[in-house]
């Protein structure tokens, strides 16, 4: 029998983020998020396995969560959240829920 590794559902987003790694700040975009981590588009690739803090702001939530770079590549980087408390985990769950929920449309929608 084959073992399956289950992952939390991922959601495509476009959310500005601020990364702080070793005292240096870098702007980027979160292009995919789950309760486990996020896919990032950044100008400079992140060092593999380095630790930092990400600041995410969406509607009424402003969060700073520690992370570790899980994947570094030429087109995107992957980061895994390192929760320091249940409150941080709950905040990310709430954020992902808001990002994944139905959105209010503010104009025409292009359908292919």
Instruction: Tell me what pLDDT residue 110 has.
Output: 42
- Which domains are present in the chain? 11-100 (2.40.10.220)
- pLDDT of 25 strictly over 60: yes
DSSP letter for 47, please. Answer: P
| Closest to 59 in 3D by CA, of 13, 12, 26 | 13
CA 43 to chain centre: 16
Q: What is the pTM of this model?
A: 0.82
- pLDDT of 4 strictly over 70: no
Beta bridge partners of 71: 78
Rounded to a whole number, what is the largest CA-CA distance in the chain?
50
pLDDT digits (tens, 9 = 90+) for 45-72: 899 999 999 999 999 889 999 999 999 9
């Amino acid at each position: 029998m084959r073992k399956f590794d289950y992952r939390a559902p991922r959601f495509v987003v476009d959310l500005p983020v601020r990364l702080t790694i070793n005292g240096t700040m870098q702007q980027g975009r979160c292009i995919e998020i789950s309760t486990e981590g996020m896919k990032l588009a950044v100008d400079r690739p992140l060092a593999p396995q380095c630790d930092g803090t990400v600041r995410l702001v969406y509607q009424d939530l402003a969060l700073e969560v520690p992370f570790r770079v899980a994947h570094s590549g030429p087109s995107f980087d992957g980061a895994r959240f390192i929760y320091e408390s249940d409150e941080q985990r709950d905040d990310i769950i709430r954020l992902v829920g808001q990002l994944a929920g139905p959105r209010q449309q503010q104009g025409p929608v292009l359908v292919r």
